[in-house]
Amino acid sequence: MTWVRIVTWRLAFTVPLLLAVTFGMFALAKASPFDPVRQYLGERAMITSPEVMAGIRANWGLDKPLLEQYATWLGNLLSGDLGESRSLRLPVAQVIGERLGWTLLVVGCALVVMLVAGPVVGTLAAWRRDSWLDRLVTGAAYTNEAAPVFWVGLLAIWVFSVTLGWLPAGGLTDAASTTVTLPDLLRHMVLPVAVLAFSQSSWLLLFVRESVIGVLREDFVTGARARGLRGRTVLLRHALRSALLPFITIMGARVPELVTGAILVEAVFSWPGVAGTTIKAALSVDFPLLAALTLLATLAVVAGNLLADLAYTVADPRVRVLGVG
Amino acid sequence: MKRRSALFGVFVLALTACSAPSQPAPAAQDTVVLGLSSEPDALNPVLGYAPDGGSLMFDGLVRRTPDLKVQPALAESLPEAEGKKVEFTLRQGVTFHDGRPLTSADVVYTYEQVLKSGNNSPIRGDYAAIDKVDAPDERTVVFHLKYPYAPIVQRATLGIVPDKSDLSGKPVGTGPYAFVSWTKGDKIALKANERYWGDVPAVKNLVLAYTTDDNARATRMAAGEYTATELPPKAVARFRDQPGVTVHEAPSADYRGVMFPMDQPVTGDLAVRRALSLAVDRSAMVSAILAGAGAPAFGPIAPGTGWHDPSVTGSAQPDRAEAAATLEAAGWKAGADGIRTKDGTAARFTLMYPAGDSLRKDLALAVASDAKQVGIDVRLAGLDWDAIDQRMAKDALIMGYGTPYDPDYTNYELFHSSYAGQGYFNPGRYDNPEMDRLLDAGRRTSDRAAREKTYQEVQRLIRDDAVWLYLVYLKHTYVVRGGWSGLRIGVEAHEHSTGGLLGTVVNWKPAS
C-alpha cells in the first residue's frame, strides 16, 4: 500500500504548489513591462486611440488590483471556466483542447524513443567501454548536450529535408493536403520526435553509461562472473537492474526539460501543439492562456515525478518493503 | 560478435525507425500553398481580420485593385461621400458561402459588432466617425456620420459577416474563397467559391501555411512545400538564381523616420530639423540596412499611391555643406568639441528606438553618425515601449507609419493639433493652424481632384516645417514558384495578411 501513501502525500503537496505557481505567474505577468493591450493590438497599437485602448483595458479588468484579478481567475477556475484567451480570441479550454493532443503525441513518442535508446545505447557504450563505439557515442552525446535544441532542429531540417529531401521540413501534414492522414502524419512526426528525443537523451545516455560502468565494478557483479555466468547474463540480469534504478528517478526529474524542449521543437517545426502556443501567450502577456498553460506544465512535472516514484516502488523491493520516509 | 551486432541493430533501428525515405507529393496545378509569417488570431473581420481587404473569404462593400483603385464589391456602385450621410445600395444576387442571401441586415450587424465596446475589436478606432448604421430596406445601407468623413468609402473594405453570426465561429463570408479548415498554428485551407458573384478563381484549392521563423520559411520554400512565400530581403538572396522560382519586390507605403518633440529647444528649432534632413545618407540606409529592399523617403505619402506630391522629394545622398550652412545661418556655431551651440545650448538631443526592433536600431545608429558629421550630437536610447511612452514629449523617436490607402489615414491623427500629446498620435505636439485647416478640408470632401490638391499642400507643409525626418520606405520581397499570369504588384501596406502580391492569387492562372 506504499503507492497509496505516495499518491496521497503528493496530492496534498500539489494544491499549495499549484496555488504558489499560478500566483507567482500572475505577479510576474503584472510586473512585466509588456502591456497586454498593446500586445493584443499588435501593430495596430500605434494607430489606435488611447480612448479605445482604455476601453479594452477596462473590459479585461486590468486596472483592478492584482489580488482581485487572481481571486477572480481562481474562482472561475474552480467553477471550470479557464477564461478566454486574449491573443487568440477563443476560450482557453478550446485553445488547449485543439492542441494538447498533438503535443502529447510528439512528447509521448519522444519519451518512448528516449526510454529505449537512452538505456540501450548507454549500456552498450559502458559494456564496450573505450571502444570506438563508446567514443563515438559519448562524443556525440557531449556535443549534443552543448547544442541548443532549436539549432539541432534547424540542422536536422537542413540535412533531411533540404539536402536529402527525405522528410518534410515542418507542419502537421503536407502543406497542400486538407485532411490528416496517418502516413502523412507519421512522415511529419519523424523529425520533431527524433530531434526532441535526441536532444533530451544525451544526458540520460551518459548517466546510464556511468551508472553501468560503476555497477560493473561492484562486488556482486564480480561474484556473478566468478560463478561462471555468461557476460550477457551478468550484464542484463544483475548489473542493469541495479544501474537503472536511479535512471527512473532522473526520467521523472527531466520532465521540465522535456517541456522546454517541446516548446522549441514545436516552434522550429511549426508543430501545432500546445507548447508552441506558450511562446505566443507569453509574448502577448495573455494572462488567461499563460495561467492555464503554467498550470498544465506544473501538473506535468508533478505527474512525472509521481510516476517515477511509483515505478521505483515496483523496481526496488527495498522501497516497497521499507516504505517512503 | 553476434551479441554486439544484435545490440547495435536495436540502436540503429531506434534511430531510423520511421525515416522511410519518401518525397513530398507534387502539388496539383489547381492547388496553391502560400507560406505566410504571421497567423491571424481570428478569422473574423469584426475582430480585426484583414479589414483593408486582405481577406480572401470576405468581401467589403468596396474593394481595391492592386493599383489601389476603389471599386464597388458588395455595393452596386460607389456612393457620394459628401456630408454626414453616406448611402450604399447592395449588389443583387450575392449569397454567403452557406447559401444565405446577402441583405442590408448583414452589413448593419457587421458594423455594429465592430463598434460594440464589449467586443474589444482592435479596429474600432478606425470607424470612430460612424454614429450609426441603419438599413431602411433590404438593399440599402445608410451610414450616419458624426462629422463629414470622405475616407468612409475606403474604410468600407471591411469584410461583411452574416447577421447574428457567432464571432468566434466558423468563418462564413461572400468572398472568392470559402473556408474549409484551420489547423491552429499550422495552416488554413480554403476552396474556390464556385458561386462567387465575380470571376471564380482558377486556383481551386488554396492553403495558407504559417511559419513565423523566417529561416524555417525559407527552408520550407526551398524544400518545395510552398508555391509562394514572403521573406525578408536578406533571405531571398538564395532564390535569385534558382531556376523555376521568381523573386518579386513590391514597394510599400510603410516608412520609418524620426518623430521630433516640437517643444524642446534643439528639436524644436526648424533649422536643426532641416539640417538633419540634408545630412542623413538615405542611400546608404537603403543599401546597407535594408539590403537594397527599400527607397529613400521624404514625406508620409508614398510615391505610386496616387496621392503623392512629386515635388516632395530630395536627394538620397547627403548634402553636408548645405546642412552646415543652414545651421550656421540659424546661429548654431561649431564649438571646440565639434558640437554646435547656440546661445549656450548645445545641439544635442536623445533619439529613442524600441529595443527589440533591429531595423529601427540600425536606422537610429545611422542617423546619429550622420548627425555627428554636421555637429549635432544625437544620444541613442533603446527602450521598451512603456518607457518610450513616458518620454515621447521630450525625446525624439524612430517611428514607422504609412498606408497606401487614404491620405487621411493616420496623417490626420499624426499632424492635427487636436491629437497633440495623445498616445502615439502627435506626441511631439506639432501645432499649425494651417495644417489643421487642410486636414479638416481633406476629409470633408469626396471630390478626388480637390482632395489630391489638399493633400499635396499637406505634404509640402510637412516638408517645409520638417515635422518628421523621413528616412526610408520598406519594400516587401516575395518568392514565387512556377509561372503565373494575373500576378500583380502594387504599393503595399505594412500589414498584408493575404493582401498585397499574394492576395492577387484570386486572379492567378497557370501560365503555360
pLDDT tens across B230-251, in order? Answer: 988 888 888 988 889 999 999 9
User: What pLDDT score was predicted for residue A175?
Assistant: 67
State the DSSP H helix or E strand holding residue B107, giving kind and residue range, or none if neither.
helix B104-115
Chain A contact present for B35, CB below 8 A:
yes
User: What pLDDT score was predicted for residue B6?
Assistant: 42
Residues of A in contact with B400 (CB under 8 A): 46
Gap from A302 CA to chain B (nearest CA, Å)? 27
- Cα A319 from Cα B77, distance rounded (Å): 82
Specify whether the CB–CB gap between B416 and A37 falls below 8 A.
no
Chain B contact present for A112, CB below 8 A:
no
Which structural domains are found in chain B, ordered by start?
58-155 (3.90.76.10), 253-474 (3.10.105.10)
List CB contacts of A129: < 8 A, sequence separation 6 or more. A213
User: Do B422 and A49 count as a contact with CB atoms less than 8 A apart?
Assistant: yes
Cell numbers for A283: 509574448
Cell numbers for A251: 526520467
Task: Quote the longest CA-to-CA distance of chain B.
Answer: 93
- Cα A1 from Cα B457, distance rounded (Å): 87
CA-closest candidate to residue A98, choices B184, B189, B186, B39: B184
User: What pLDDT score was predicted for residue A176?
Assistant: 65
List CB contacts of A221: < 8 A, sequence separation 6 or more. A215, A234, A238, A239
Average pLDDT over residues A320-325: 52
CB count within 10 Å of CB A18 equals: 16
- Cα B141 from Cα B161, distance rounded (Å): 15
User: What pLDDT score was predicted for residue B365?
Assistant: 96
pLDDT band at B54 (very low <50, low <70, confident <90, very high): confident
Specify whether the CB–CB gap between A172 and A271 falls below 8 A.
yes
pLDDT band at A262 (very low <50, low <70, confident <90, very high): confident
Least confident of A86-95, B450-459, B503-512: A86-95
User: Do A59 and B205 count as a contact with CB atoms less than 8 A apart?
Assistant: no
Specify whether the CB–CB gap between B510 and B482 falls below 8 A.
yes
Average pLDDT over residues B196-207: 93
What is each CA distance from A222 to A219, A226, A230, B259, B362, in whole angstroms?
A: 5, 6, 12, 79, 67
Given 3-state DSSP classes, what are the helix, strand and coil percentages for chain B, each rounded to the nearest 5? 30, 25, 45
- Please provide residue B8's backbone torsions phi and psi, each rounded to the nearest 5 degrees: -65, -35
- Cα B465 from Cα A101, distance rounded (Å): 59
Specify whether the CB–CB gap between B160 and B58 falls below 8 A.
yes
Nearest to A270 among B10, B118, B186 (CB): B186
Nearest to A46 among B17, B48, B401 (CB): B401
Cell numbers for B71: 471599386
- Cα A252 from Cα B207, distance rounded (Å): 40
Chain A contact present for B181, CB below 8 A:
yes
Q: Which of A48, A159, A180, A268 to mutate against chain B (most B CBs within 10 Å)?
A: A48
Partners of residue B75 on adjacent β-strands: B90
- Cα A283 from Cα A293, distance rounded (Å): 13
User: Do B209 and A38 count as a contact with CB atoms less than 8 A apart?
Assistant: no
Whether A240 shows a pLDDT value over 80: the answer reads: no
Q: What is the pLDDT of residues A134-171, one digit of tens each?
A: 888 888 888 888 888 888 888 888 888 777 878 877 77
- Cα B464 from Cα B460, distance rounded (Å): 6
3-state secondary structure of A183: helix
Whether A325 shows a pLDDT value over 50: the answer reads: no
- Cα A125 from Cα B191, distance rounded (Å): 54
Cell numbers for B58: 470576405
User: What pLDDT score was predicted for residue A42?
Assistant: 77
Cell numbers for A167: 522528410
Number of A–B residue contacts, CB under 8 Å: 188
Specify whether the CB–CB gap between B221 and B33 falls below 8 A.
no
DSSP state of B482: S
User: What pLDDT score was predicted for residue B496?
Assistant: 60
Average pLDDT over residues A291-304: 84
Specify whether the CB–CB gap between B159 and B101 falls below 8 A.
no
User: What pLDDT score was predicted for residue B2?
Assistant: 42
What is each CA distance from B400 to A176, B183, B253, B319, B342, in whole angstroms?
A: 36, 33, 10, 24, 31
Average pLDDT over residues B65-85: 89
DSSP state of A182: H
What is each CA distance from A275 to A72, A107, A267, A299, B433, in whole angstroms?
A: 25, 10, 8, 14, 54
Chain B contact present for A162, CB below 8 A:
yes
Specify whether the CB–CB gap between B247 and B479 falls below 8 A.
yes
User: What pLDDT score was predicted for residue A10?
Assistant: 80
Specify whether the CB–CB gap between B300 and B334 falls below 8 A.
no
Partners of residue B70 on adjacent β-strands: B64
Q: Which of A47, A106, A182, A234 to mutate against chain B (most B CBs within 10 Å)?
A: A47
Closest residue of chain A to B5, computed from CA coordinates: A124
Average pLDDT over residues A207-228: 80
Q: What is the pLDDT of residues B134-168, one digit of tens each?
A: 999 999 999 999 998 989 999 999 999 999 998 88
C-alpha B276 chain-centroid distance: 26
User: What pLDDT score was predicted for residue A168?
Assistant: 78
Q: What percent of chain A lies above the pLDDT cut of 70?
A: 94
3-state secondary structure of B208: strand
Q: Which of B113, B120, B155, B168 to mutate against chain A (most A CBs within 10 Å)?
A: B120
C-alpha B487 chain-centroid distance: 20
Partners of residue B478 on adjacent β-strands: B230, B248
Gap from A261 CA to chain B (nearest CA, Å)? 17
N- to C-terminal Cα distance for chain A?
A: 14
Q: What percent of chain A lies above the pLDDT cut of 90?
A: 0
Specify whether the CB–CB gap between B258 and B63 falls below 8 A.
no
C-alpha B374 chain-centroid distance: 34
List CB contacts of B97: < 8 A, sequence separation 6 or more. B57, B172, B173, B174, B178, B179, B193
ipTM of the complex, rounded to two decimals = 0.72
CA dihedral B106, B111, B116, B121 (to 10 degrees): 110
Q: What is the pLDDT of residues B112-140, one digit of tens each?
A: 999 998 888 888 888 999 999 999 999 99
State the DSSP H helix or E strand holding residue B382, giving kind and residue range, or none if neither.
strand B377-383
- Burial of A296: CB neighbours in 10 Å, binned 0-12, 13-18, 19+: middle
Closest residue of chain B to A40, computed from CA coordinates: B122
What DSSP string describes A261-306? HHHHHHHHTT--SHHHHHHHHHHTT-HHHHHHHHHHHHHHHHHHHH
- Cα A297 from Cα B330, distance rounded (Å): 64
- Cα A43 from Cα A291, distance rounded (Å): 25
Whether B18 shows a pLDDT value over 80: the answer reads: no
Whether B20 shows a pLDDT value over 50: the answer reads: no
Average pLDDT over residues B321-344: 92
Residue type for position B443:
R
Partners of residue A292 on adjacent β-strands: none
Q: Which of B211, B221, B497 to mutate against chain A (most A CBs within 10 Å)?
A: B211
Closest residue of chain B to A100, computed from CA coordinates: B184
Cell numbers for A287: 494572462
- Burial of B460: CB neighbours in 10 Å, binned 0-12, 13-18, 19+: middle
Beta strands in A55-98 (DSSP E): 84-85, 90-91
Q: Which residue has the cell 471550470?
A: A80
Partners of residue B33 on adjacent β-strands: B207
Gap from B15 CA to chain A (nearest CA, Å)? 8
DSSP state of A169: S
- Please provide residue B484's backbone torsions phi and psi, each rounded to the nearest 5 degrees: -135, 135
User: What pLDDT score was predicted for residue A115?
Assistant: 82
CA-closest candidate to residue B410, choices B278, B302, B284: B302
Chain B contact present for A156, CB below 8 A:
no
What is each CA distance from B281 to A254, A315, B42, B171, B395, in whole angstroms?
A: 54, 72, 41, 48, 22
Task: Quote the longest CA-to-CA distance of chain A.
Answer: 86
- Cα B192 from Cα B175, distance rounded (Å): 9
Chain A contact present for B420, CB below 8 A:
no
Chain A contact present for B42, CB below 8 A:
yes
Give the best-scoring range by mean pLDDT among A115-124, A269-278, B196-205, B206-215. Answer: B196-205
Least confident of A256-260, B59-63, B272-276: A256-260
List CB contacts of B277: < 8 A, sequence separation 6 or more. B314, B466, B469, B470
What DSSP string describes A210-268? HHHHHHHTSHHHHHHHHTT--HHHIIIIIIHHHHTHHHHHHHHHTHHHHHHHHHHHHHH
- Please indicate, yes or no, whether the overall pTM of this predicted structure exceeds 0.95: no
